[in-house]
Chain A
Amino acid sequence: MFKLKSKTQDALLFYILRTISLVVIALLLGIIYILIKAAWPSIVGNGLSFLLRKDWNPVEDQYGALPFIFGTVVTSLVALLIATPVSILIALFITEYLPKTFSRIISLLVEMVAAIPSIVFGLWGIFYLAPFVKSTIAPFLKTHLGFLPLFQGPSFGIGILTASLILSIMIVPTISSICRSIFELIPAHQKEASYALGSTKYEMIKLAIISPSLSGISSAVVLGLGRALGETMAVTMLIGNSPVISSSLFSPAATMASVMANEYADANTPLHVSSLCYLALLLFLITFLSNLFARTIVKSFSKG
């Protein structure tokens, strides 16, 4: 057998590793390229007004994405509004209040929530959460906050509110696990200094933990947002899938991901397919940018 110098052998392995790494980078670029290419007819045909038009009508081949952008943004924001305080509090509970053994168990349980498949959340949502929202949560909100346009109109169980609730359950593990790792980075002497000044535990947490972690917490929230924006199955099963824009949280809606899940397999006119790809491209760009943003914050945080 022919013999190579060990230096050549090393170089060979190095090039193999490098090539495969390049393949993975090329894959990401390939995804972007293919999406742009497939969306191109709709980008040319509809232009940017695609983002602002309200009509989505495959029968007449007219496509405007506003209802889906609206649905995606509203469900994600409501979900963040519910999930952020809860995630921060549970992260504090685990790091500051619980003894070590318990904190391990509770954090494992929280991470188990992340392991549950989206489809199971959807199934549970249809048969438990949606009826619960209809019979209990919606009437409660109506009687106490019914003067707000957010809580008016009939509730059918499925709709923006239910989808947001399931999303908030799904993104808590993401936000709380990042918050937890940030809180664990806080040096002990910082907490001790706060106690030495006579703080109660709450004041210590406010002064020594929350305020120095704010930028880290915001990156956790942005990562949670990224997950909420792209979440498909549970939302598709619970949002009602109708492209309407309404001020009521009880009304059904649709998101960019849910319309893709519903219509892609049956889309038959080229413009319909291409418009769905346009939506996919938009969703990709939004999640891409939010991840990039969160990453830069985390990076500057870990350096500082």
Chain B
Amino acid sequence: MNYRVYRKFKNYLFLALTLASALAVLAPLFMIIQFVLVQGASSLNLNFFTELPKPVGETGGGMKHAILGTIYLVLLGAAIAIPIGVTCGVYLSEFSKSKLSKTLKLTVDLMSGIPSIVIGIFAYLIVVVPLKSFSALAGGIALAIIMLPIIIKTSEEILKLVPNHIREAGLALGLPRWKVILFIVLKGSISNLLTGIILAISRAAGETAPLLFTAFGNMYLSYHINEPMASLPVQIYTYAISPFKDWQRQAWGGAFVLMVLILTMNLIARYILGKIKDKKGI
């Protein structure tokens, strides 16, 4: 074969390979979405949202307790993680040169790499063991630790997008630095900070492993912070590995609700984030 033809051939072969790999990545995505849509939508009805599970053998029943439980647990986690996370984000963006700042950055990076099941065990050891009961509190704390690095990182990035001349303008007007930070930098970015919070919430809402032995799950409706609490992911897990057809059907329904929730939140956050970055020209 002519050398030039050979080089051209290699060139096209490579293009074909990149195309094939793109298809290989996107195919499972579409298959999962299609599977969840078809299987999930057919097992959804009003009862799914308004009823508690029926005992084994009886058909029907729903996942009201798990849906409400997930919302409760995620809000509990967010209530712990948001104030701490945003504060750290402010520290990292406003005092980025300090030594502590560098340590904190390293901490956040390492924390986001901890497997979520290990975080679950940590929450079990510090909450479930002393209180001697699986509890929503333990689940909330585990989710908060998962959300924390995401919130810190995104708030740092977003606050750094505030141009320095705005800070200087505030200082030039004679405002003390804390007022500049709180009322100009932070207040002006509140809606943007939401994107990081939404991303963190969407991540936490899908977590199963850390809830297995913290919030644990139950089959009834409970709002007590010191009692076990059901959540969608754990309920899906329990149902998916059960031998009952009706439960497996419900697992698909749960997966449908969870996916719609998480993908919507993700898309919204990414849309806003993309807009912010476009505006700043980054």
Contacts and interface: CB of A to CB of B under 8 A. Distances in A.
B236 interface: yes
A281 to B, nearest CB: 8
B22 A93 contact: yes
A120 B233 CA distance: 8
A237 B208 CA distance: 12
A127 B35 contact: yes
Nearest to B21: A89
Nearest to A22: B100
B interface secondary structure, majority:
helix
A188 interface: no
B84 A284 contact: no
A145 interface: no
Interface string A87-120: 1011011100100000000101111110111111
Contacts of B126: 30, 34
A21 B181 contact: no
Q: Which of B25, B87, B114, B216 has the most CB of A within 10 A?
A: B25
B46 interface: no
Q: Which of B103, B125, B181 has the most CB of A within 10 A?
A: B125
Nearest to A126: B240
A109 B274 CA distance: 14
Interface stretch (B47-55, B57-65, B187-195, B254-262): B254-262
B31 A288 contact: no
Contacts of A226: 113
A230 B258 CA distance: 22
B32 A25 contact: no
B20 to A, nearest CB: 8
B25 A172 contact: yes
Interface of A: 6-7, 9-10, 12-14, 16-18, 20-25, 27-28, 30-31, 34-35, 38, 85-87, 89-90, 92-94, 97, 106, 108-113, 115-124, 126-128, 169, 172, 176, 200-203, 205, 223, 226, 229-233, 237, 257, 260-261, 264-265, 276-277, 280, 283-284, 287-288, 290-292, 295
Lowest 3 A-B CB distances belong to which pairs? A230-B115, A117-B206, A6-B176
Interface of B: 7-8, 10-11, 13-15, 17-22, 24-26, 28-29, 31-32, 35-36, 39, 84, 87-88, 90-92, 94-95, 100-101, 103-104, 106-111, 113-119, 121-122, 124-126, 145, 148, 152, 176-178, 181-182, 202-203, 205-209, 212-213, 216, 233, 236-237, 240-241, 248, 251-252, 255, 258-259, 262-263, 266, 270
26 contacts: A6-B177, A10-B178, A13-B178, A20-B91, A21-B92, A21-B101, A30-B126, A35-B122, A85-B21, A86-B24, A90-B25, A97-B15, A110-B26, A112-B266, A115-B206, A115-B263, A115-B266, A116-B206, A118-B207, A119-B236, A119-B258, A169-B28, A230-B117, A283-B118, A288-B110, A292-B110
